[in-house]
Amino acid sequence: MHSKAIEQGASTGTQLQSKVAPVTGAASGIGLAISQMLVAGGARVVLADRDEAALTTVCKQLGTAAIPLSVDLLDTSACAALVSRTLEATFRALQIQGLAKT
C-alpha cells in the first residue's frame, strides 16, 4: 500500500475501513507509528510485540481497533506461528499484508 493512501485514509478516517493489518514491533518506534496511522485510517490492527506491558498500554490508547499479540520474533517457533495466530485473532480477516518491514 502506498504511503499517500495511508495519509489520505488518516485524514478521512475511512480509507482502510473494514481492513485488518498486522504490524510487528508495534509497541514502539516505527511499528507504533504505522499502527497509529492504520487505526487513524479506519483499519483494525494486530499489534505484535514482545514487550507485553508496552503492548497493553498501546492497545489501550488505540482502543478497540487494536488487537494485541504478544510474540518474540527472535523465537523461530513463535515466528512460524505468527500468521496462524494473527488469522485466529482476526477470525481470518487479514487483508493488508507487506505494508512495511520494521
Please give the tally of structural domains in the chain.
1
pLDDT, tens digit, 9 for 90 and up, residues 61-70 = 999 999 999 9
Domain boundaries, position 15 = 3-89
Domain CATH code at residue 44: 3.40.50.720
Residue with cell 482476526: 90
Q: Which residue has the higher pLDDT, 4 or 46?
A: 46
Kindly report the pTM of this predicted structure: 0.73
pLDDT, tens digit, 9 for 90 and up, residues 6-47 = 455 455 566 788 788 889 999 999 999 999 999 999 998 999
pLDDT of res. 33: 95
Q: How far apart are CA 8 and CA 16, in angstroms?
A: 10
Domain-located, residue 98: no
Q: How far apart are CA 52 and CA 6, in angstroms?
A: 27
C-alpha cell at 33: 507509528
| Model confidence band, residue 81 (pLDDT cutoffs 50, 70, 90) | confident
pLDDT of res. 9: 47
pLDDT, tens digit, 9 for 90 and up, residues 46-63 = 999 999 999 999 999 999
Please tell me whether residue 15 adopts helix, strand or coil conformation: coil
